[in-house]
Structure 1
Amino acid sequence: MKKMFLTLFLLFLWRLDGVAFSDPIYDVLETVTEGDSVSLDSGLTEINDDDVVQWRFGNTLIAEINVTADRFTVYEDVLDGRFRDRLKLDNQTGSLTVTHTTTEHAGDYKVQINSEVKRISLSVRAEMSVAEGDSVSLNSGLTEMKDDDEIQWRFRYRTEYKYSEYKYTVIAEIHKRFSRFTVYEDVLDGIFRDRLKLDNQTGSLTVTNTTIKHTGDYNLQTKTIMLDFHLTFIVSVTEGDSVSLNSGLTDMKDDDWIQWWFKCSFDHGSTLIAQINRRADRIAEYNDAVLDGRFRDRLKLDNQTGSLTITNTTTEHAGYYNQEINEMAFYTRLFVYARLPVPVITSNSSHCSSSSSCSLVCSSVVNVSHVTLSWYAGLSVLSSISASDLSISLSLALEVDYQDENTYSCVLNNPISHQTTHLDIHTLCHACSDSVHCCGPTEAVIRLVLSALVGVATVIILVYDIRSRRAERDQAHIHTSGSA
């Protein structure tokens, strides 16, 4: 069972140099994942008594140190407060840390120490996901284009057999001055045909009906901004099942070649696990020789399409799969989810109850991550609890009325599968009948007292009745004797 997604890594490089499509020179290039912190090094090991350190984002002063004046200041409210509660100055070295980074913090930083200036380019990598076949929007970062703005969108591909060399193909561009908005859908064998849409106000680019062929690197250039986007295809599978990673080809040509590479995390190096070279008539699957044999007897290459199938998947196969096809490179990330157990519904009491409600518990012992346990009434969620820890046992309580006619169910799910147990209220919940009605200690005492009182009253009435009848007989006997 599997689902496919696209993940979007946005690498924002804001180049505030004022020259269209130029490539400014930076002393340092820094990259950070969105939400993480990044430390921008001043280059000093210790500030001298007469040093003045100033940090600027673009041309805006955001922090400074003046030792002589004993002033250590961060200006968090500038630029619409984008740095509020996010800047930290090191009083010893003058280095600047940006915490909880967002794409708004990507760009050109300058640190000036007395008369010397150091330029740092910071890119922030963000991740987005969309379902296969849906649309994905590449944001230009602009709210509205100016009259003289020029925007160019490009898609990057690798030069054949030269892994370090890349080329860009223009796929869309805007010349606002001439009201010209153009998409080049027929480039690169038409993989973008009928799929590109430009926003006339912001210059953002939308790719519709996404497929594996749209993964890769996108680049945006304007007079003042340069952005890079990395688009990755995501596939999910249940542990033990097979999964096919699509090459995007329907039939390989005689001179085609494909290489499949694997790495367990984004920052790790890649390992070649399979390849087809039609030109050399070579097909190879490296099942045993790489990565401690984790792919042993599990890899199958389709000789016609170049697609790669992994059988009997385990969590060890989760990671990044990159395929090199001639001059193109496509990117896939595989998630492997453990098979879910069936949740169990139990009653809190093993006896019948005299109350009108029944207490239930749904539980599941799980050794899997990213799961949610929920109670449903029909299609409506009543309550839920989630866990990402592998060792947590989940449980969720529910009170229902005996006369309730709703259909209740307990569901355990992860992003790609679910297990459901339906509540049989008549089996787990039933009120006590009159003949076997159970009761608590207080009710038992009350009943006993009442029974005793009824018994005493009955005896008194019976004694009174006997005496009354005897008195009547005696009276009748006396009356009869007197008449005689």
Structure 2
Amino acid sequence: MFWIVLFFLCFWRLDGTFGYEEKLVTEGDSVTLNSGLTEMKNDYRIQWSFGNKNIVIAEINKRTDRFTVCDDVLDGRFRDRLKLDNQTGSLTITNITTEHAGRYELQINNVRKSFDIIIYGEKNVSVKIGDSVTLNTGLTEIMDNDRIDWIKWKKDDVNTNYGDVNDVLAHIIKHYNIITVFDDALDGRFRDRLKLNKQTGSLTITNITAEHTGVYQLKINNARVDFLLTAYDEISVMEGDSVTLNPRLTLTMDEIQWMFGNENTLIGWIEWSNRITVYDDVLDGRFRDRLKLDKQTGSLTITNMTTQHAGVYQLLITHKKTHFILSVFDSVHCCGST
């Protein structure tokens, strides 16, 4: 009986599936897919493949002592990124991008092991109000099995599920040739502003306003990248004049904070309860009796401007970010900009 049991155990080791692993990797990092071997036997043949079509990306044949890395396949997405361990057969992928997310399969003779690589990344993007911005997928071409989703989080909670279907701005399902843009989502703030690249899946937003700031999430198969989009505007004012920094938003129950300078000093606050607070005594009182907050629009007015009031003003609206770069000129330096 002992020998029969041992025979079946050995047989299972030579033919079948012996494992599955899931790897969570930050974009730009490296990951090693371990073969589970300490060394390779002389009769071993090892093959690494990627994707639903099992495209071979690396191969070892111990009988012929041949080691091959196929990093030019799939339009070269793996070029100069693959390292094959000659002793164990483990595969390392360096400088990970969204293109490398998905299913990897290891075959040792007739035994298979699967790995799912899940990519996560974060990117900060800043754009001037009125301009356009492109959120790039990092793909050169969408493959047949790719699914791409672009999502805008209403409250920037990237850890929740899809929630309201209106949060989805665009998606591509390549296999079924489905390409859809939902520019009526979120009360129509994106209407006629979204352009989806059919080749790469990148999303362009035109004519940016403060309403378009926040977190955008890209999902490509097993990859997830969050883009934090902030907007800014540049304003020039003559010394002694007044200026109104207007976010041009339709406000609901949002909380608003106005901050100034490199240290983001709080100078104005509209709370959920519509309570308005102006902190005009901060920074040695340079704003004293000069600040006015509009609770209907969230706008901040600064009166009797001096050069002390030039700088960066930051508006936070429930985690949305907009910057106003304010330049103040005296009568000698008229109408220039910095």
**TM value normalised by structure 2:** 0.55
| Equivalent residue, structure 2, for 1:196 | 194
Q: Which runs of 5+ in 2 are unaligned?
A: 1-19, 236-242, 303-307, 327-336
Q: Deviations over 1:47-103 (max 9, x none)?
A: 51237765443232323567787655422222233333333345677351424x665
Q: Given the alignment of the two structures, is residue 57 of structure 1 paired with residue 47 of structure 2, yes or no?
A: no
Q: Is the 8 A contact 2:48 2:105 kept in 1?
A: yes
Structure 1 residues 277, 218: closer, same or farther in 2, change over 3 A? same
Q: How far has the Cα of 1:134 moved from its partner? A: 2.8
Q: How far has the Cα of 1:110 moved from its partner? A: 2.5
Q: Is the 8 A contact 1:135 1:208 kept in 2?
A: yes
Q: Is the 8 A contact 2:151 2:217 kept in 1?
A: yes
Q: Is the 8 A contact 1:155 1:217 kept in 2?
A: yes
Match of 2:81 among 80, 83, 86: 86
Q: How far has the Cα of 1:309 moved from its partner? A: 9.4
Structure 1 residues 183, 117: closer, same or farther in 2, change over 3 A? closer
Q: Quick one: percent identity of the two aligned structures? A: 37
Q: Is the 8 A contact 2:119 2:223 kept in 1?
A: no
Q: Deviations over 1:364-407 (max 9, x none)?
A: xxxxxxxxxxxxxxxxxxxxxxxxxxxxxxxxxxxxxxxxxxxx
Number of matched pairs: 281
Structure 2 CA distance for aligned equivalents of residues 312 and 171 of structure 1:
39
Higher relative contact order (CA 8 A, sep 6+): 2
Q: Is the 8 A contact 1:109 1:122 kept in 2?
A: no
**TM value normalised by structure 1:** 0.41
Structure 1 residues 197, 96: closer, same or farther in 2, change over 3 A? closer
Q: How far has the Cα of 1:40 moved from its partner? A: 0.3
Structure 1 CA distance for aligned equivalents of residues 183 and 116 of structure 2:
38
Q: Deviations over 1:269-324 (max 9, x none)?
A: x9999753141626476998xxxxxx88689784534467997678xx89xx7834
Q: Is the 8 A contact 2:117 2:222 kept in 1?
A: no
| Equivalent residue, structure 2, for 1:249 | 249
Q: Deviations over 1:440-472 (max 9, x none)?
A: xxxxxxxxxxxxxxxxxxxxxxxxxxxxxxxxx
Whichever of the two has the greater Rg, that structure is: 1
| Equivalent residue, structure 2, for 1:475 | none
Q: Output aligned runs, 1:85-164, within 5 Å.
A: 85-89=80-84, 94=90, 96-99=92-95, 105-108=99-102, 110=104, 112=106, 114=108, 115-123=112-120, 131-138=128-135, 141=139, 153-158=150-155
Q: How far has the Cα of 1:41 moved from its partner? A: 2.9
Q: Output aligned runs, 1:253-264, within 5 Å.
A: 255-258=253-256
Structure 1 residues 87, 154: closer, same or farther in 2, change over 3 A? same
Q: Which runs of 5+ in 1 are unaligned?
A: 1-24, 265-269, 289-294, 337-415, 418-484
Q: How far has the Cα of 1:194 moved from its partner? A: 2.9
Q: Is the 8 A contact 1:231 1:331 kept in 2?
A: no
Q: Output aligned runs, 1:393-432, within 5 Å.
A: 417=338
Q: Given the alignment of the two structures, is residue 74 of structure 1 paired with residue 85 of structure 2, yes or no?
A: no
Q: How far has the Cα of 1:29 moved from its partner? A: 1.8
